[in-house]
Amino acid sequence: MSGSFMENNSANLSGVIYSEPSFSHEIYGEGFYLVTVKVPRLSDTYDFIPVMFSERLIPLDEIREGRTIVIDGQFRSYNNYNSSSKHKLMLTVFARDIVVSDSIDETRVPNSIFLNGFICKKPIYRTTPFGREISDILLAVNRAYNKSDYIPCIAWGRNARFASHLEIGDNIRIWGRIQSRQYQKKLPDGTVEERTAYEVSISKMEVSKVNNAVNKQEESG
């Protein structure tokens, strides 16, 4: 894989293994597994982040509930099709490197991500009932083999106001953290289902002037 793709999408997590690994899928004889990692926030709460890893990266018996884990990888999306042929965007951290130990490195930031991608839907600007400004952004991040990951992001305050002026195709770079959020989904039969959403909470963002200038030049040509 080209290094440029790794630079587009870099996720780093450290936390506690919250679930035993479960089998996800196999490609060319290589098995992939999912595990949930409990990652601390500054506010004494936690995010519960799904992590996918290869059985060739680390022995399965090392991934045990309660142990500390450090992951370097990418935040990726894929379509999960159900029996009714509807697809749901699934999000996981795809591990490139894993270290498991019994102690926590207090000097390491427990949850950080960098993404360099393109706006693929017009950002939605809104305010909460308490007057807090939010913009919802869907970012397309290029991956090797002509693939892309579609990552939902949330900007707050002045970043939200800035994001509200962005257009489809704008190239932006963002820094932040991955968060999990519980919500209720009302189903067609009237029942309500508890679900978990995963997204990037943006702490810093900037527009890539170079790539946007190139795109505008290609469009005019």
Nearest residue to 142 via CA among 1, 18, 33, 15 = 1
**Is the domain of 125 the same as that of 91?**
no
pLDDT at 216: 42
pLDDT in tens, 50-86: 999 999 999 999 999 999 999 999 999 987 755 454 5
**Is the domain of 87 the same as that of 157?**
no
**Is the domain of 117 the same as that of 86?**
no
**Is the domain of 101 the same as that of 117?**
no
Among positive and negative, which fits the CA dihedral 64, 67, 73, 79?
positive
**Is the domain of 29 the same as that of 73?**
yes
pLDDT surpasses 50 at 210: yes
**Is the domain of 210 the same as that of 129?**
yes
Other beta carbons within 10 Å of 125: 15
Among positive and negative, which fits the CA dihedral 18, 56, 4, 109?
positive
pLDDT in tens, 142-185: 998 889 999 999 999 999 999 999 999 999 999 999 999 988 88
**Is the domain of 139 the same as that of 159?**
yes
- Is the separation of the CB atoms in 47 and 41 below 8 Å? yes
pLDDT at 218: 41
**Is the domain of 118 the same as that of 78?**
no
Q: What is the DSSP letter of 103?
A: S
**Is the domain of 121 the same as that of 206?**
yes
Question: Of 105, 124, 147, which one is at a domain's C-terminal end?
Answer: 105
**Is the domain of 119 the same as that of 210?**
yes
Q: Which domain holds residue 211?
A: 113-220
In angstroms, the CA 147 to CA 25 distance is 19
**Is the domain of 84 the same as that of 121?**
no
pLDDT surpasses 80 at 37: yes
Question: Of 81, 105, 129, which one is at a domain's C-terminal end?
Answer: 105
Other beta carbons within 10 Å of 103: 7
pLDDT surpasses 70 at 12: yes
The number of distinct structural domains making up the chain is 2
Q: What is the DSSP letter of 18?
A: -
Q: Residue 182: which CATH number?
A: 2.40.50.140
**Is the domain of 120 the same as that of 215?**
yes
Question: Of 44, 72, 105, which one is at a domain's C-terminal end?
Answer: 105
